[in-house]
């Protein structure tokens, strides 16, 4: 205790030269010209906020202020004495690192408390949870500033989840969920342990996973009119979170083959079409088109637009030149690149509208395709371009030596990729693909704009129901929470995976 007393004495009296207020002010406050004004501004803001919060909720603010002042003092003394408890050590490193930091911490705590109070007041205190609209209205009317009307979400819970899926067919969804859970649980450790590397369990599980899409189709769509699995019309019965999940999962899985081919295509180094052959085709074609289109077109043209269209055939040789110059005659790389860059260059919403408006024009007149299928196709085509770029990133991360070793062993192109390159590349891109899935899961909300009622679409319908007219915030908040939990879990999983891949095995 004598040391403590001695130290405190030097702290306040400064007689040993360790501490003096003049010294302190000169070194900490006036050491640079901007610090004092900044501190004053911060003090002003703090006082304003404290006063405001004090008026709103005196007790809480007073408690926070006292706690703050006490901890700041204790931390300051601990710092001077270099004697820390775990708490003061944490505080001095994280909340009270400097004079300004201490004030900012107080500010943030006060504002956070105000925000959390506001939200809790709205979400719980002044809220109604009854799915009965009339009771809810009564409950809410007792408040001057009524809070959340969660009844709308409770009442529409089924709509939000599956929308119009027939109730008597619910068992199909439960079965599908059960199937996936049953497969997922053993998979998590069978696929992560080296013990099972060559085991039969692993192969069986893989086979069952491959069978899952078939099962999903049987359960979600069904076959035949009678029988145990009557056929359902996706356009009318799929909706809500169900539709969102279908689109996102289908999109990422179905885009995989196309994305892989596009990635390989863009990187392909096969011997290109020679220049003479290209020109042999392009030049006569250009001459023919100029003769039949450009010349009569220019003669009849009225207005610059028409002239431009008539001149289009002249671009053909330019395109051929660029093709030979930048792609060395490699048609596969050219077309893959054009596809990838075009799709990545336009917004998803235009691709979705294209599926609704243009696909019918592109297909034979007698062929009618449900809009759900068209949207699924559009999402797939869209996701494939992004997936291709992710896979390409993975391919680029494979050292050149791996390719050379495979070539030297005489494996041949197909086996080189199948046995050596792709296993490594795909492992490396799993985190990126999880990231893409998160993006796709979020982007699925856009199908609402083309008239499919997915998760967010149901929320917008709720506010139009006579019972819950204008109730928007509550379903939005609910959806945001669902998305946040799902994506946050996936993102943390992906980060963990990234660390694992980064550390070992490679």
Partner 1 sequence: MEQTHIPDHTHKHSHAGKTDDIIICRDVHKWYGEFEALKGVSMTVKRGEVVVIIGPSGSGKSTFIRTINRLEEHQEGEIIVDGITLSHDIRNIAEIRREVGMVFQQFNLFPHLTVLENVMLAPIHVRKWDRDHAHERAMHWLNRVGIPEQADKYPGQLSGGQQQRVAIARTLCMEPHILMFDEPTSALDPEMIKEVLDVMRDLAVSGYTILAVTHEMGFARTVADRVIFMDGGYIVEENTPDDFFANPKSERTKLFLSQILSH
Partner 2 sequence: MTDLTPQAPNRRESVPFWRDIRVLGVLAQIAFLIVVISGLAWVARNVTQNMSTLGGSQFLCRDGSSSVRCAFDFLQLDAQFAISESLIPYDPSDSYGRALLVGALNTIKVSSLGIVLATVLGTLTGIARLSSNWLISSVARWYVDIIRNTPLLLQLFFLFFAVILAFPPIREANQLFGLPIFLSQRGIDLPRIVMMPSFMTWLIFLVVGAALAAAVWWWLGRRERETERDANRPLWALLALLIVAVPGWFFASATAADTQGFLAPESSGITEFADVPEVVRAQLGLENLNELDAALDAGTVTQEQVDEATVTFCAVENSPPLTNMAAELNRANVPWAVERSRTPAAASADFAAGECQLLVSSRTALAGEQAALADVLPSTLIPLRELPVRLSVPRIEGLNFVGGIKLSPNFAAILIGLTVYTGAFIAEIVRAGIQSVAKGQSEAARALGLSESQRLRLVVLPQALRVIIPPLTSQYLNLTKNSSLAIAVGYPDLWSTAFTTLNQSGRAIQVFLIAMGTYLMFSLLISSFLNWYNRRVALVER
Residue 274 interacts, among partner 1, partner 2, none and using kind-specific CB cut-offs from 5 to 8 Å, with: partner 2
Residue 16 found at the interface with partner 2 (CB under 8 A): no
SS (H, E, C) 366-387: CCCCCHHHHHHHHHHHHHHHHH
The only residue of 118, 166, 257, 347 in contact with partner 2, by rule CB under 8 A: 347
Q: What part of residues 138-177 is at the interface with partner 2 (CB under 8 A)?
A: none
What are the φ/ψ torsions at residue 149 (nearest 5 degrees)?
-110, 75
* Vertex 399: Cα angle to 398 and 404 (nearest 5): 110
The only residue of 6, 13, 48, 83 in contact with partner 1, by rule CB under 8 A: 83
In whole angstroms, give the CA distance from residue 374 to residue 358: 10
The only residue of 5, 21, 59, 82 in contact with partner 1, by rule CB under 8 A: 82
Q: What are the Cα distances from residue 36, in Å, to 41, 95, 189? A: 9, 20, 59
The only residue of 4, 6, 8, 28 in contact with partner 1, by rule CB under 8 A: 28
First to last CA, the chain: 58
Span of 122-130, 174-182, 402-410, 440-448 interacting with partner 2 by CB under 8 A: 440-448
Q: Chain-centre distance of CA 206, in angstroms?
A: 27
Name, in order, each residue with C-beta under 8 angstroms of 143's C-beta and a sequence gap of 6 or more.
Answer: 126
SS (H, E, C) 11-36: HHHCCCCCCCHHHHHHHHHCCCCCHH
How many Cα atoms are found within 13 Å in the side-chain-facing hemisphere of 296?
A: 5
Cβ distance to partner 1 smaller for residue 72 or 429: 72
Span of 85-93, 163-171, 179-187, 377-385 interacting with partner 1 by CB under 8 A: 85-93
The only residue of 70, 73, 185, 270 in contact with partner 2, by rule CB under 8 A: 270
What are the φ/ψ torsions at residue 91 (nearest 5 degrees)?
-60, -45
Residue 112 found at the interface with partner 2 (CB under 8 A): yes
Span of 21-29, 207-215, 362-370, 439-447 interacting with partner 1 by CB under 8 A: 21-29
CB of residue 94 to partner 1, shortest distance in Å:
12
In whole angstroms, give the CA distance from residue 394 to residue 92: 44
Span of 23-31, 233-241, 311-319, 497-505 interacting with partner 1 by CB under 8 A: 23-31
User: How many residues sit in the footprint of partner 1 (CB under 8 A)?
Assistant: 12
With b for 16 or more beta-carbon neighbours within 10 A and e for fewer, the 69-92 pattern comes to eebbebbbebeeeeebeeebeebb
Span of 27-35, 173-181, 372-380, 416-424 interacting with partner 1 by CB under 8 A: 27-35
> Contact residues for partner 1 (CB under 8 A)?
18, 26-28, 31-32, 82-84, 89, 92-93
Which residues contact partner 2 (rule: CB under 8 A)? 93-95, 97, 101, 104-105, 108-109, 112, 270-274, 277, 297, 300-303, 305-306, 309-310, 329-332, 335, 342, 344-350, 353-354, 357-358, 360-365, 438, 442-446, 448-449, 456, 459-460, 463, 472-473, 476, 479-480, 483-484, 487-488, 491
């Amino acid at each position: 205790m004598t040391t403590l007393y001695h130290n405190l004495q030097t702290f306040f009296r400064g007689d040993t030269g360790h501490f003096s207020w003049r010294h302190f002010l000169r070194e900490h406050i006036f050491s640079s010209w901007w610090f004092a004004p900044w501190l004053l501004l911060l003090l002003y803001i703090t006082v304003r906020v404290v006063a405001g919060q004090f008026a709103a909720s005196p007790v809480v603010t007073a408690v926070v202020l006292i706690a703050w002042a006490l901890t700041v003092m204790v931390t300051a003394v601990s710092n001077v004495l270099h004697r820390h408890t775990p708490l003061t050590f944490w505080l001095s490193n994280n909340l009270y690192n400097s004079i300004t930091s201490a004030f900012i911490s107080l500010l943030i705590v006060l504002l956070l408390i105000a925000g959390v109070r506001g939200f809790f007041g709205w979400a719980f205190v002044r809220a109604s949870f009854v799915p009965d609209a009339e009771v809810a209205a009564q409950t809410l009317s007792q408040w001057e500033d009524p809070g959340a009307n969660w009844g709308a979400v409770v009442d529409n819970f089924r709509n939000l989840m599956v929308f119009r899926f027939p109730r008597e067919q619910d068992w199909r969804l439960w079965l599908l969920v059960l199937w996936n859970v049953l497969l997922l649980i053993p998979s998590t450790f069978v696929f992560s342990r080296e013990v099972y590397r060559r085991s039969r369990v692993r192969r069986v599980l893989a086979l069952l996973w491959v069978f899952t899409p078939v099962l999903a189709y049987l359960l979600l769509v069904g076959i035949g009119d009678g029988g145990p699995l009557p056929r359902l019309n996706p356009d009318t019965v799929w909706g809500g979170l169900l539709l969102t999940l279908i689109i996102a999962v289908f999109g990422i899985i179905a885009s995989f083959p196309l994305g892989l081919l596009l990635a390989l295509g863009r990187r392909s180094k096969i011997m290109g079409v020679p220049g003479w052959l290209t020109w042999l085709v392009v030049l006569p074609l250009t001459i023919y088109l100029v003769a039949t289109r450009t010349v009569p077109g220019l003669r009849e043209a009225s207005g610059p637009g028409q002239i431009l269209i008539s001149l289009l055939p002249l671009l053909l040789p330019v395109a051929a030149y660029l093709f030979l110059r930048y792609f060395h005659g490699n048609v596969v790389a050219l077309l893959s690149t054009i596809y990838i860059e075009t799709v990545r260059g336009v917004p998803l919403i235009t691709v979705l509208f294209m599926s609704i408006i243009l696909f019918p024009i592109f297909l034979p007149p007698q062929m009618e395709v449900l809009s759900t299928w068209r949207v699924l196709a559009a999402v797939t085509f869209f996701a494939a371009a992004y997936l291709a770029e992710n896979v390409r990133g993975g391919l680029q991360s494979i050292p050149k030596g791996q390719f050379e070793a495979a070539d030297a062993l005489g494996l041949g192109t197909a086996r080189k990729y199948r046995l050596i390159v792709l296993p490594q590349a795909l492992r490396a891109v799993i985190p990126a693909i999880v990231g893409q899935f998160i993006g796709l899961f979020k982007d699925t909300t856009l199908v609402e704009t083309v008239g499919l009622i997915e998760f967010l679409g149901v929320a917008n319908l709720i506010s139009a129901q006579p019972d819950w007219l204008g109730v928007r915030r509550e379903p939005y908040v609910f959806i945001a929470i669902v998305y946040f939990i799902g994506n946050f879990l996936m993102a943390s999983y992906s980060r963990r995976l990234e660390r694992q891949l980064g550390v070992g095995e490679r």
